[in-house]
């Protein structure tokens, strides 16, 4: 089973029948995997050069968009995911987190997920005890009241 299918299954309670946004999606493999369970999946990145062609065949809506200045309305999503992307957005995290909180609905959540050493080491440095392992995925989960 693909890693992205495994993590979608592990997080299914926050994905099934929910409106999902993947930020800094790159290939958007996570979004493609989530599409079978979610109500809707949107994903954004600064460019589409690595986008998985499966995105076009699934019900995933990809847009080129800066995560620190999202075009979505307030309270648009239930769950936001960053998959193997924290290292690349770390310097903008404050602005991106603020935007994530704005576009999330009440009682929504943000998942930062890392499997690559590049991401997991910086996540452990920045988030410390807030980061936990679930199988071979390092996860930080933030709640929005
Ligand atoms: C390691 S890659 C993506 C990993 C991706 N989740 C995957 O599995 O392919 C990090 C991505 O962050 C994107 N990125 C960096 N800053 C961004 C921003 N401000 N808004 C949206 N995407 C951003 C980059 O364009 C790049 O595609």
The rounded Å distance from CA 28 to ligand 1 centre is 9
Instruction: Please report the atom of ligand 1 found closest to the CA of residue 4.
Output: 8
The rounded Å distance from CA 79 to ligand 1 centre is 18
Minimal-distance CA residue to ligand 1 atom 25: 46
Each residue of 70-114: pLDDT tens digit? 999 999 999 999 999 999 999 999 999 999 999 999 999 999 999
pLDDT at 145 over 80: no
In this prediction, residues 15-25 reach a mean pLDDT of: 98
Q: Contact 86/80 with Cβ under 8 angstroms? A: no
Nearest CA to 98 among 121, 120, 122, 74? 74
The rounded Å distance from CA 87 to ligand 1 centre is 9
DSSP β-ladder status, 104-114 and 60-64 = unpaired
Beta bridge pairs of residue 17: none
Report the pLDDT value the prediction gives residue 90, as an integer from 0 to 100.
Answer: 96
Domains, the chain, in order of start with CATH, read 3-143 (3.40.50.150)
The rounded Å distance from CA 64 to ligand 1 centre is 11
Q: Which of 3, 21, 26, 69 best tests ligand 1's pocket when mutated (most atoms within 8 Å of CB)?
A: 26
pTM score above 0.85: yes
Backbone angles phi, psi at 119, to 5 degrees: -80, -45
């Amino acid at each position: 089973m693909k890693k992205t299918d495994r993590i979608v299954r592990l997080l299914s309670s926050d994905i099934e029948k929910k409106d999902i946004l993947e930020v800094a999606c790159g290939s958007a493999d996570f979004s493609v995997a989530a599409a079978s369970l979610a109500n809707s999946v949107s994903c954004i990145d600064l460019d589409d050069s690595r986008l998985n062609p499966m995105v076009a065949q699934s019900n995933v809506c990809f847009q080129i968009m800066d995560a620190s200045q999202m075009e979505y309305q307030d309270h648009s999503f239930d769950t936001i995911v960053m998959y193997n992307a924290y290292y690349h957005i770390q310097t903008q995290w404050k602005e991106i987190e603020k935007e994530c909180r704005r576009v999330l609905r009440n009682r929504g959540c943000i998942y930062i997920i890392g499997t690559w050493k590049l991401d997991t080491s910086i996540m452990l440095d920045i988030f410390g005890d807030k980061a936990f392992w679930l199988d071979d995925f390092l996860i930080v989960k933030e709640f929005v009241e």
